[in-house]
Amino acid sequence: MPTPHHTDHLQAAKQPTRRQLAYLKVLADRAGQTFTYPISREEASLQINRLKRAQPGTRTEQRAERKLIADAIATGPVDSTRVTDDELAGYGSTATWAQNQQTEAARPAPAARRC
């Protein structure tokens, strides 16, 4: 008779603990670095040791780097969610999508139904 597979239990035992993940986040923020999500407790320990040895960045460096990243995201050409001027028609509360105005003008209004 084959032995039962207990892979779910073994995988759960090998996953990093919540405490390790929280400590990783604190250390990464303090050092001004990022980390890859560990898949095991050993990998989490290695990441923690690496971040402990890292020289902490100054707060000024961290702010400057975050500002650069935020600016790059806000002005980047790959920001596909940004609304451009040619997509809007009107201003303020009367603003509508320019594409809707073109399609609404081409479509006739639906006929009123009587009951």
Each residue of 50-104: pLDDT tens digit? 999 887 677 787 788 888 888 887 777 666 677 777 888 888 899 888 886 655 5
Confidence label for 105 from pLDDT (cuts 50, 70 and 90)? low
pLDDT digits (tens, 9 = 90+) for 9-36: 555 568 999 999 999 999 888 887 888 8
Compare 7 and 80 and report the one with higher pLDDT.
Answer: 80
Whether 21 is in a domain gets the answer yes
**β-strand partners of 89:** 96
Q: Is the predicted pLDDT of residue 6 greater than 90, yes or no?
A: no
Average of per-residue pLDDT across 45-52: 92
Whether 60 is in a domain gets the answer yes
pLDDT digits (tens, 9 = 90+) for 29-43: 888 788 889 999 999
Whether 1 is in a domain gets the answer no
Q: Which domain range does residue 29 map to?
A: 13-72
Whether 36 is in a domain gets the answer yes
Whether 80 is in a domain gets the answer no
Rounded to an integer, what distance in angstroms lies between the CA atom of residue 105 and that of residue 28? 55
Tokens of 6: 């207990």
What domain count does the chain have? 1
Whether 24 is in a domain gets the answer yes
Q: Is the predicted pLDDT of residue 111 greater than 70, yes or no?
A: no
Whether 108 is in a domain gets the answer no
Whether 31 is in a domain gets the answer yes
Q: What is the H or E stretch that residue 29 is in?
A: helix 18-31
CB atoms within 10 A of CB 73: 10
